[in-house]
């Protein structure tokens, strides 16, 4: 699983720390979501996510294979961008 960090401003130490904190919060939540919809033998390194740090939103990147995107699109936004994500960072 790979994250593409999207934010305005400079990549300063404070922003890097924010991204690290967000990743520690997001990675297990996204993994639980993926495991609830996919087989454990799935190649999870094929998943790419865009993280808009400024707006605290996660989306599935176009780099994720369509077959996987189709399997996880339903319910992704609610599960990942629900109220609990806004408490991160």
The predicted model scores a pTM of 0.86
- One DSSP character per residue, 43-64 reads -GGG-EEEEETTTTEEEE-TTS
Q: Which residues pair with 3 in a beta bridge?
A: 49
Which residues in the chain land under pLDDT 50? 86-89
**86 secondary structure, DSSP code:** G
Structure tokens at 74: 């339903």
pLDDT on residue 84: 53
Cβ pair 51, 61 in contact under 8 A: no
Residue-wise pLDDT for 58-72, tens only, equals 999 999 999 999 999
């Amino acid at each position: 699983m790979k994250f593409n960090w999207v934010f305005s401003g400079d990549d300063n130490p404070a922003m890097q720390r924010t991204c690290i904190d967000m990743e520690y919060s997001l990675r297990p939540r996204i993994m639980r979501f993926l495991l609830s919809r996919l087989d454990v033998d799935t190649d999870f390194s094929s998943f790419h996510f865009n993280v808009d740090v400024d707006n605290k939103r996660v989306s599935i990147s176009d780099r994720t294979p369509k077959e996987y995107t189709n399997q996880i699109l339903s319910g992704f936004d609610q599960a990942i961008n629900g109220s609990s994500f806004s408490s991160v960072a």
